[in-house]
A and B are shown apart, each in its own frame.
Chain A
Amino acid sequence: MIYLDNGATSFPKPQGVYEGVEKYLRYCGASSGRSAHKRATEAMEIATGAREMLANLFGISDPEKIIFTKNATEGLNTIILGMVKEGDKAVVSHMEHNSVMRPLAHRKANIEVLPVSEDGTTDMEALRKIGEGSSLVIINHVSNVSGAVNDIEKAGEICKDLGVPLLIDVSQSAGHFNINAEKIGASIAFPGHKGLLGPQGTGGMYLHNINPPPLTFGGTGSDSESIIQPISLPNYYESGTLNMAGIWGLYEGLKYIFSVGIDKIAQKEALVTEKLKGGLKNIKGAKVIGENLKKCGAVVSFTLQGKDPSEISFLLDEKYDIASRSGLHCAPLAHRLYGTEKGGTVRLSPGFFTTEREIDIALEAIESIVKNEI
Chain B
Amino acid sequence: MEGIIILLSSSTSAVRLKDALAKKGFNAKVIQTPSRLAKEGCNYSVKTVSFALAEAEKIIKLLGMKSRGIYLDTGIEKMRYRPISSGDEI
Contact = CB atoms under 8 A, between A and B. Distances in A.
Contacts of B12: 44, 47-48, 51, 63-64, 234
A232 B30 contact: no
9 contacts: A44-B12, A45-B19, A47-B15, A63-B12, A64-B65, A222-B42, A223-B43, A224-B41, A232-B66
Interface in A32-75: 32-33, 35-36, 41, 44-45, 47-48, 51-52, 61-64
Contact of B44 (A36, A45, A233): A36
The A interface is mostly helix, strand or loop, or mixed, namely loop
Given A232-B9, A232-B66, 11 more contacts: A33-B10, A41-B15, A44-B14, A44-B15, A48-B11, A61-B64, A224-B41, A224-B42, A225-B40, A231-B90, A234-B10
Interface in B6-27: 9-16, 19
B8 to A, nearest CB: 9
B32 interface: yes
Contact of A233 (B10, B30, B32, B38): B10
A233 B42 CA distance: 15
A45 B17 CA distance: 11
B42 A232 contact: no
B31 interface: yes
Interface of B: 9-16, 19, 29-32, 38, 40-44, 64-66, 90
Nearest to A32: B11
A234 B65 CA distance: 12
Contacts of B32: 35-36
B57 to A, nearest CB: 18
B40 A64 contact: no
A266 to B, nearest CB: 29
Contacts of A45: 15, 19
A221 interface: yes
Contact of B64 (A51, A62, A231, A235): A62
A250 to B, nearest CB: 15
Given A45-B15, A48-B16, A232-B90, A222 B30 contact: no
Interface residues of A, number: 27
A222 B10 contact: yes
Interface of A: 32-33, 35-36, 41, 44-45, 47-48, 51-52, 61-64, 221-226, 230-235
B41 A223 contact: yes
Given A48-B15, A64-B10, A41 B42 contact: no
Q: List 5 tightest A-B contacts by C-beta distance, closest first.
A: A225-B41, A224-B41, A48-B15, A224-B42, A33-B11
Contacts of B29: 41
Nearest to B16: A48
A230 B31 CA distance: 19
Contact of A222 (B15, B19, B41): B41
Nearest to A35: B32
Contact of B43 (A41, A62, A64, A222): A222
Contacts of A234: 10, 12
Contacts of A51: 12
A63 B14 CA distance: 12
Contacts of B16: 48, 52, 63
Nearest to A224: B41
B81 to A, nearest CB: 17
A226 B42 CA distance: 10
Given A33-B11, A221-B11, A222-B10, A44 B40 contact: no
Contacts of B19: 45, 48
A44 B43 contact: no
Contacts of B15: 41, 44-45, 47-48
A344 B64 CA distance: 49
Given A48-B16, A51-B12, A63-B16, A221 B42 contact: yes
Given A35-B32, A36-B30, A223 B11 contact: no
B36 to A, nearest CB: 13
Given A35-B32, A48-B12, A64-B10, A223 B40 contact: yes
Contacts of A63: 12, 16
